[in-house]
Amino acid sequence: MKNILVANPKGGSGKTTIATNLAGYFAAQNHRVILSDLDRQQSATGWLERRPKAFPTILGLPSKAKSTAKAEWTIFDSPGGFRDEKLSDAVKQADCILVPVQPSAFDIGATQDFLDLLNEEKAVRKNKTFVALVGMRVNYRTNAAAKLAEYMEQTNLPVLTYLRNAQVYVTAAEQGLSIFEMRPSLVTQDVEQWAPMIDWILETTQ
């Protein structure tokens, strides 16, 4: 079983967007998937509850529960303010960590503090758990987007992709779907933006 942790202590950074869409992607590939919702707000759990029965099943796992089910992929949607022992335990379990970052000074500052914490984790230092960045809700040709790209490049971590600020993500969340399960003509550009992230996950979890 492969474990993906989606984490950033800044609330609203896009963690649930990444977690739910990854779960939907792997489920659509006929993989057995668990979506573990560690956040008290239970947004990922709500997404699962809205998910149409006609689509591939994704097993839900509330924050305080332990699963006895077997899955090929477990995706952890972490809460804001994630740190200390809970963070350390999650890092130890994870094969890879995706850190979503939005183009704002507040998000960049919170992310840098979080990356400093991750770099202190033994699993990260010894390259047992791999960390990468994902730009979220990016509007190209803006100064904020340029500053985000400059910051992310300076971290010396893999910068996997930049996801645009698009209505399709809102629609998918409302319907309990991932963008990979929507009409292709609506999400062509978005699916292309996800490809480097998925390729990196597959490479690092081999």
Q: What is the pLDDT of residue 63?
A: 55
Domain annotation for the chain: domains and CATH numbers? 2-204 (3.40.50.300)
| C-alpha to C-alpha distance for 195 and 8, rounded to whole angstroms | 21
What letter represents residue 110's amino acid? A
Strand order in the sheet with 73-77: 59-61, 33-37, 73-77, 2-6, 96-101, 130-138, 159-164
pLDDT confidence band for 66 (50 / 70 / 90): low
pLDDT confidence band for 67 (50 / 70 / 90): low
Model confidence, pTM: 0.94
Roughly how many angstroms between the first and final C-alpha of the chain, as a whole number? 11
Considering the chain, what percentage of its residues have pLDDT values greater than 90?
A: 88
| C-alpha to C-alpha distance for 129 and 127, rounded to whole angstroms | 5
